[in-house]
Structure 1
Amino acid sequence: MRIEVGPVARSRSLAALVCACLLLTGCPARGGSATAPVLHGCAVPSRFAGQQVDRLPITGKRVALTFDAGANADGVPSIRATLRRTKVAATFFLTGAFVQRYPATSRRLAGRDLVGNHTMTHPDLTTLTDRRVTAQVRRAEATIRATTGEDPRRFFRFPYGARTDHLIGLVNGLCYVPFGWTVDTLGWEGTSGGQTEATVVARVLAAAEPGAIVLMHVGSNPDDGTTLDADALPTIIARLRDRGYHFVRLDRVMSADP
C-alpha cells in the first residue's frame, strides 16, 4: 500500500532534515528567519593544529582576559559593568548547561564579547569515549548558537584543562582550537580556599607577558559565595594598563577563514 504524503508532512520532514543538518554538521539553513553566521567548510588554521594555545603568538604588550562560565552567574553583572566602563574586550567560554540556565545573561555576554565552547556539562573529557566527547562539543555548540545567535566554533576550552594529544586532534576535527591559559587567578577557590582579591591581582601581575591568557571565572565560590575574579577585575585592568598593556579577544590571532 502506498502512503501519500501531503504538503504539510513534506514540509515538516524537510524542516526536520534541516535541523538535523544544523545540529550534526553545522551546515547553514537556507531561507526562513535569519540565523547566526556559519563558518562554511570550517577548519582550524594549520598553524594551530595539534596544540593547545596557552599564550597568544603575538608581540607587543597585549593580554587576553578570558572567563569560564559553567556554574553560576553571580559575578557577571560586576564583570560586564567593569568591561563596559573600562572599554575592555574579553572572551567567555560557556557550557551549554550555563546557557540553558542563564539564556538572557548568555545573550548579553555574546552581544558584546567573544564566546567559545566549554562543552555541554563540563565533564573531564579524558574519561569519555570519542563519541561522547563529540556529543558534548556539538550539543554545546548547538545550544550556544540557538540561544545567543553566535557561532562559537574555533574557540574551545577543555574542562579542568584535562586533555590528551588525541583529544586535541578530535576537537580540531570539530573545527575548534583549544585555548588554555598562561595564568589561573585561582579566584574560583574563594576565601575558603585561602585566596583574596589581593592574591588574584598578584598572580596576574606576576605572570604578565606579551600574549598572556588570563583564566578567570564568572561564578561565585559555592562554599563562601565570594566572586574574587569579578572583585579584582578593575584593579587588574588598571595595573596592567599602568604597565603599558592592552587587552585583546582571542580572535585577535584567528582570522575568519582557514
Structure 2
Amino acid sequence: MKHVVRGVLFFILLLFSFRQVEATKTTVISSGDRMDNKIYLTFDDGYSARNTKKILDILKATRVPATFFIEGGFLTENPLLSKRIADEQILANHTFSHVDITKISDEELRRQLKQFEDEALKITGKPVRKFFRPPMGKYNDRKLKILADFGYTVFLWDVQYYDYVHNDDQGIKYVLDNLMKQTQNGSIILMHTLTNSNADALEEAITRLRAKGFVFASLEELV
C-alpha cells in the first residue's frame, strides 16, 4: 500500500512540476476559434507613415479593429502617428530593431522589449499592450520564457501572402485574391504597412470579407 501511495504522490509531483515549467512559457496564438466567424486584422513593422495613416483612416471609417506590431524605429520617428495607433487601435511590440530573437542573447531580448516599452510609454502616454509578434515569426522555448516573464502573449498568423517579398509587384488583385482564398473562421491576417497595394486594397478587402460573413474582431478577445 505504501508503494502505491508513494507512486501516486510521485506522479502528482511530476505533473505539478510539468505544469510549473509549462506555466513559465508564454501563450502562442496563430488563429482563433474555427467555429466562430470572427477574424483578426494585424499589421507589421510600420516603415511607411503614408500607408499607415491611410490604413488608420480606412479602419476608422469602416469601424474595424486592428493590431499594429511596430518596431522601435517607426515608433520613435513617427511619434504622432504612433500615438494615434495607440489611441485608435492596439499598438504592440515587434522588438525595438526588428531582430530575429532566436539569434540574440537573452539579455539583448530583454533590452529590446524594455526599450520598446519605455519609448512607447513616453510617446503614447500609456503602457504598451502586452502583445508580441516575433520578427519573421521565429522563436524558441528559451525566448518564450523571457516573453512570459515580461507578461507577453505571442501572436502569429495563419493568413499571409509574402507581401514584404513581392512588395507592389503583384498589385491590388493579388492582395484581394489571397485574402479571399486564405481567410477562414478565426483567421489572424498578417499584412505589412510598407506595401502600397495593401493600403490601396484594404477598403475593398474589408467589404468583401464582410460580404462572406466574417466579423472583424480585436485580438483582445483571444486572451
Same fold (TM over 0.5): yes
Alignment of structure 1 residues 203-222 onto 2, 5 Å: 203-220=178-195
Query: Distance between the aligned counterparts of 1:48 and 1:205, measured in 2?
Result: 37
Cα displacement (A) at 1:48: 11
Alignment of structure 1 residues 40-55 onto 2, 5 Å: 49-55=25-31
Give the equivalent residue in structure 2 for 1:100. 76
Query: Distance between the aligned counterparts of 2:181 and 2:69, measured in 1?
Result: 24
Cα displacement (A) at 1:150: 2.9
Indicate yes or no: 2:173 matched with 1:172. no
Cα displacement (A) at 1:125: 1.1
Question: 1:146 aligned to 122, 129, 135, which one?
Answer: 122
Which runs of 5 or more structure 2 residues have no equivalent in the other structure? 1-21
Aligned-partner SS, 1:183: coil
AA paired with 1:81? D
Aligned-partner SS, 1:65: strand
Give the equivalent residue in structure 2 for 1:250. 219
AA paired with 2:117? E
AA paired with 1:171? L
Aligned-partner SS, 2:170: coil
Give the equivalent residue in structure 1 for 2:204. 235
Question: What whole-Å deviation, never above 9, does each CA across 1:204-232 have from its counterpart, x for those lacking one?
Answer: 11121121000111224xxxxxx111111
Structure 1 moving runs of 4+ over 6 Å: none
Query: Residues 55 and 48 of structure 1: is their aligned pair in 2 closer, same or farther, counting only changes over 3 Å?
Result: farther
Query: Distance between the aligned counterparts of 1:116 and 1:173, measured in 2?
Result: 17
Give the equivalent residue in structure 2 for 1:127. 103
Question: What whole-Å deviation, never above 9, does each CA across 1:22-65 have from its counterpart, x for those lacking one?
Answer: xxxxxxxxxxxxxxxxxxxxxxxx89954421102474211000
Give the TM-score normalised by the residue count of structure 2: 0.83
Question: 2:86 aligned to 110, 127, 151, which one?
Answer: 110
Aligned-partner SS, 2:68: strand
Aligned-partner SS, 1:214: strand
Query: Distance between the aligned counterparts of 1:114 and 1:59, measured in 2?
Result: 25
| Kept after mapping to 2: 8 A contact 1:65/1:247 | yes
Give the equivalent residue in structure 1 for 2:137. 161
Query: Distance between the aligned counterparts of 2:89 and 2:201, measured in 1?
Result: 19
| Kept after mapping to 2: 8 A contact 1:188/1:228 | no
| Kept after mapping to 2: 8 A contact 1:126/1:163 | yes
Which runs of 5 or more structure 1 residues have no equivalent in the other structure? 1-45, 221-226
Give the equivalent residue in structure 1 for 2:42. 66
Query: Distance between the aligned counterparts of 1:246 and 1:48, measured in 2?
Result: 33
Aligned-partner SS, 2:50: coil
**Cα RMSD (Å):** 2.0
Bigger Cα displacement from structure 2, 98-107 vs 68-77 = 68-77
Query: Distance between the aligned counterparts of 2:23 and 2:48, measured in 1?
Result: 35
Query: Distance between the aligned counterparts of 2:102 and 2:202, measured in 1?
Result: 32
Give the equivalent residue in structure 2 for 1:188. 164
Question: What whole-Å deviation, never above 9, does each CA across 1:114-141 have from its counterpart, x for those lacking one?
Answer: 1111111101111100000110111111
